Homo-oligomer: A and B are copies of this chain.
Amino acid sequence: MAGCQASLVIWEPDNRFFMKEQPSKDYLLRKLRFLPLPLQEVFILNGQLKRFPAGTTLLREGQYVSAIPLVLEGRLKVYAEAETKRLLLYYIRPEESCVMSFSAVLEDRPSSIVAEVEEDAVVLLLPSEQIHEWLRHYPMLNHLFFRQYQRRYTELLQNIEQVLFHRLPDRLLAYLKDRKRLTGHAKLTLTHRQIAEDLGSAREVITRTLKKLEAEGSVRLLEEGIEIF
């Protein structure tokens, strides 16, 4: 598989967050329960568990990855990035992986993608050299990968359609509803600036648009945050 030929390194700005001791096998078994049994074993034996605090930048453009990250806890955000602007492409949640980040790395073109930790994350790193072999030995791993690819692809596509075919009020509302679904809270504590960054817009514009949505009755702006219906 082409994706595994690249040599790579996960960006690690702060070594404090390495996991020193081998975590309990029970923990891993619990977290990997969603996998077929043989894969559980292989992953536990060969994977490297790491913890990244919120705010960490995991993957920067131009960097290479020596492992496929499988998220067990927390949440990552994946952005497309230009000089000044950024745009949220999709999230990576527990039990998901970012197989896709390969592509950005494989090709020579600078399709600047950034993965950032949004909620403190625990990640199982699977060394890419071995993945080759696993793919042959465990056909179900192919299933998994394909599913991941498809999921990423659809999320990406949906997002594009949002950006291309809908104006800011719609996009903003969709974004907020998505956050509600993600976090499980109807009251979102997000700064306007954060929202602007995710949507590739500007702070003032978000403020304005939020007011507009409030006037329409789609959201309510409270001291504590944004309530979304």
- Show the binding face of A for B, using Cβ within 8 Å: 1-3, 80, 82-83, 85, 87, 89, 100, 102-104, 106-107, 109, 111-113, 135-136, 139, 142-143, 145-147, 149-154, 156-158, 160-161, 163-165, 200
Contacts and interface: CB of A to CB of B under 8 A. Distances in A.
A190 B146 CA distance: 37
A154 B2 contact: no
Given A85-B164, A160-B160, A150 B2 contact: yes
A1 B107 contact: no
A104 B160 contact: no
A80 B161 contact: yes
Q: Which of A113, A150, A164 has the most CB of B within 10 A?
A: A150
Interface of A is mostly: helix
Contact of A150 (B102, B142, B151, B165): B102
A111 B147 contact: no
A147 to B, nearest CB: 5
B80 A164 contact: yes
B158 A109 contact: yes
What are the 9 A-B residue pairs with the smallest beta carbon separation, nearest first?
Answer: A82-B165, A103-B150, A103-B153, A103-B154, A149-B149, A111-B157, A1-B146, A107-B154, A136-B139
Contacts of A87: 164
B3 A157 contact: no
A41 B12 CA distance: 47
A157 B156 contact: yes
Contacts of A103: 149-151, 153-154, 157
A149 B143 CA distance: 14
Given A82-B164, A83-B165, A85-B164, 8 more contacts: A1-B143, A2-B147, A82-B161, A89-B160, A103-B153, A107-B154, A152-B153, A153-B156
